[in-house]
Amino acid sequence: MKLPKINILDEKNKTLRLTSKNVTFPLSEEDKKLINDIIQYLTMSQIEEYYKKYDLRPGMGLAFIQLGIPKNIFVIVEEVDEEEFKNYVIINPKMISHSEELIYVGEGEGCLSVNREVEGIVPRYARMRVSYQDIDGNQQEIRVREDISVAFQHEMDHLNGILFVDKIDKNNPFKDREKMREI
């Protein structure tokens, strides 16, 4: 596999604070190629042989805004089995509903745009339903839970100019931990 050329913006870049705009269909060939490049990049970043070879930080999600493109598109690549992946291409997402139960990632959330260790918990919904359009513009709905729910919320935040570090209480990074379930 060949590593696609992807330039991920660092958290200091003000572009990450922009609100992304809805996408019209059909998608441009450029957008389709970028979606495929992101899938390949995220997949390679999760395979030891490639992340060692190319010095990549493993990542499972990437929003277009992280590449400097303020479009409501994000991609998640989930490793479902050893080097077997499920891809989510989510365009123009909207949260329909969510659980009352809150969860957080025990070892902490990470982000390909945040190149530092961050202490603290990010409260997330344990489950949610999202409507979105697929790569062909068809209206879809998906119910996500646990780590995929966290990933969806993380990427949807990016589309609204929000980074996960914004959701950590600066004075008490582990605030209300006992009111949430660790995953």
Alpha-carbon distance of 151 to 109, in angstroms, equals 9
Q: Tell me, yes or no, if 146 is annotated catalytic.
A: no
Q: What three-state secondary structure class fits 125? A: strand
Q: Given 29, 84, 155, 182, which residue is catalytic?
A: 155
Give the integer Cα–Cα distance in Å for 126 and 180.
Answer: 9
Radius of gyration from C-alpha coordinates of the chain: 16
Pair 150, 124: CB distance under 8 Å: yes
3-state secondary structure (DSSP) of residue 93: strand
Active-site positions read 155
